[in-house]
Amino acid sequence: MITKKSMLRHAAVVSAAVAVAASAGPAAADGRDRLRPVVERLTGPGGSPGALAQVDGRGGRHVATSGVADIRTGAPVDPRSRFRIGSITKTFTATVVLQLAGEGWIDLDAPVERYLPGMVRGADNDGREITVRQLLQHTSGLPDVLDYLSPLDILNDPLRHWDARELVDIALPHRREFTPGRGWGYSNTNYLLAGMIIERVTGHTYAHEVRRRIIVPLGLDDTFPPSDAPGIPGPHPRGYVRPAADLVDITRLNPTVAGAAGGMISSASDLDRFLAVLLHGGLLKPAQLREMLDTRPTGRDSGSEYGLGLEWLPAKDRPGCPRGFWGHDGDMLGFSVRAGAAAGRQATVMVNLNPGGGQALDEAMGDALPTALCGPAR
């Protein structure tokens, strides 16, 4: 059911495309100077080797970088950098599923069993009780594969190919977190299954459909869905983890370990364009966009709510986003990314360290996107 609150948020985002806000918003007013403290805090003591922040909107494009892209050479971060976007991939996956729903190929309220017969079985997990909508909204109760696959498992063999079914089968023997539809719990398993549904319905891989339906029409030349290729094409920072005292370079990584849940590569420019077009109705029919923006509380301290592949975050203390903003986090070995949109602006923040940044970096990342997008807290 579409809630009144969700409809109001949707209307606020769409109206921003035609309304002219006073002073054109904080991004236009302050520009790069406002982003400079954001990236410097991200690369300060206890921070990441390098950082990038970019805002796009009516006031133009503003980019700031800090630190280094490569700790060995000391090369600076390129403003045009491409990087692994982790779970922001889920927004692309959800968009494709919703497009297929709008075309009549997928029923969001049908059981997963209809599309993947016999696949979701194990412990008390049952695809006959879980709907496609619950996968996209993280209300399925399915255990998260990453609770049973540690970063060290991946670091020990970073170039290994992983099948989506193989990853799902790691999670399913474990008990569900809650009865489907009765709670909220973030699970990468949900989106691995969503990618498999795309393939079953279309006869093409998830990556093929993302490329055909989103990347090519929008001209996202810096965006690549997952394949076995371990490198990042074009200008990019090295990606690092800190399993102990020293940084370890994990730039070369087979992204099939994340697949439709987190395997994509993109850039700040492409992510900002994707969110702008998506939220202004350029990728989904009105009915499906309303479905995407119909939210459930996450129970997180932030007070956020989750739709279908997008999260709404309140920002009452931010003058530039009085209604909050839409966005998604993305964490992949080597990179941590935040992207969001509000009031005719889109912003992306990236650091080239994950995991192992510690509390200082976590706090800086928590503040970085709201500050870049909405301005400093009051």
211-240 residue pLDDT tens = 999 999 999 999 999 899 999 999 999 999
The one catalytic residue in 48, 87, 266, 269 is 87
Nearest alpha-carbon partner for 368 in 64, 20, 56: 64
Buried/exposed 152-163: b ≥16 CB within 10 Å, e otherwise: eebeeeeeeebe
Q: What does the pLDDT read at residue 6? A: 44
Q: What is the pTM of this model?
A: 0.92
Confidence bin at 32 (pLDDT 50/70/90): low
Could you tell me the CA-to-CA distances from 12 to 6, 54, 290 in Å, in that order? Answer: 10, 22, 13
Is 6 an active-site residue? no
- Choice among 279-283, 315-319, 362-366 with the minimum mean pLDDT: 315-319
Cα 366 to Cα 41: distance, rounded to the nearest angstrom: 11
For the chain, give every domain's residue range.
4-374
Q: Which of 8-12, 31-35, 151-155, 284-288 has the highest mean pLDDT?
A: 284-288
Q: What are phi and psi of 52, to 5 degrees?
A: -140, 140
Q: What CA–CA distance (Å, rounded) separates 340 from 9?
A: 14
Q: Which CATH architecture describes the domain 4-374?
A: 3-Layer(aba) Sandwich (3.40)
